[in-house]
Amino acid sequence: MITHPIVTGIVRLARTELFGDVTDSIGGNKKGRRLSLLLPKSDNETWVKINNTIADLAIHCLKGKWRDLHIRHIYMPIIDGDRVQQNGDPFSPECKGHYIIKTYCKHTPEIVDKDMQPITDPGEIYDGVYARVSLQFCSYTQNNKPGVNCLLGPIMKIADGTPFISFETPSAVEVFSDTTIPDVEFQPFPSEADTGSAEKSEPPVAQAVNALTEDNDSPPWLEADFKEMAKTVQGRAVRLDELKQMTEAKL
């Protein structure tokens, strides 16, 4: 199911990957383009439209294709920019006071200026530009886990803005200019054949999974804590009890 389009208020574009050979895979979809939107938290009108649309979509899926799934949370393409990233670091300063909406599309969307004239120059669309964007939301299921994707539609550039320096990829000179390479002969890492190791050790997470599934007498809190850890690692999740509150208000 794909929702009706929503036109945002003025947002700022970030991580613009709309031109060239940019590819991505989100929610099991095929490769395509992507773009992050910074929606000001002060734009309550757009935020209410997005929330109502996602709630309607989730309710429809819970009554349909998600009915038989064991759901603990539903993955969402929206992040609170005032929180921290999965590694514990804060988001870049530009994200403060904004919701980060991660969007996806198969092909470069139609981009126009305020006079409805097409924009084809990639230099006109960069991290930090102001725009209005058309969005649609769709549901997906991957590995029996439900989620919602945000599909990117046409874009209208409103105004130029100060480029987001923190979103730019550093050059090789910036990264390696102060790097000292020792003047020694490089020795390749030994392979498993060289070391005689016939068995591969499982990573710690895999060991934890196996221990959890094999121990039938493990206490309930252990499973709950493990699932909580898995949710934290995945990130961008909305707990089901929050969605239930939304559904109760709409039913």
DSSP letters, the chain, are: -BPPPEE-SSEEEEEEE-SSS-----TTPPS-EEEEEEEETT-HHHHHHHHHHHHHHHHHHHTTTTTTS--SEEE-SEEETTSB-TTSPBPPGGGTTEEEEEEEESSPPPEE-TTS-B---GGGS-TT-EEEEEEEEEEEEETTEEEEEEEEEEEEEEE-----GGGSPPPHHHHHTTPPPPSS---PPPPHHHHT--SPPPPHHHHHHHHHHH-TT--HHHHHHHHHHHHHHH-SEEEHHHHHHHHHHH-
What is the pLDDT at residue 214? 46
- Ranges of the chain with pLDDT below 70: 20-31, 166-171, 174-176, 178-251
- Of the chain, the percentage scoring pLDDT greater than 90 comes to 33
Instruction: For the chain, list the domains and their CATH numbers.
Output: 6-171+239-250 (2.40.50.140)
For the stretch 115-149, pLDDT in tens is 999 999 989 999 999 999 999 999 988 888 888 99
For the stretch 40-53, pLDDT in tens is 999 999 999 998 89
What is the pLDDT at residue 10? 96
What is the pLDDT at residue 29? 44
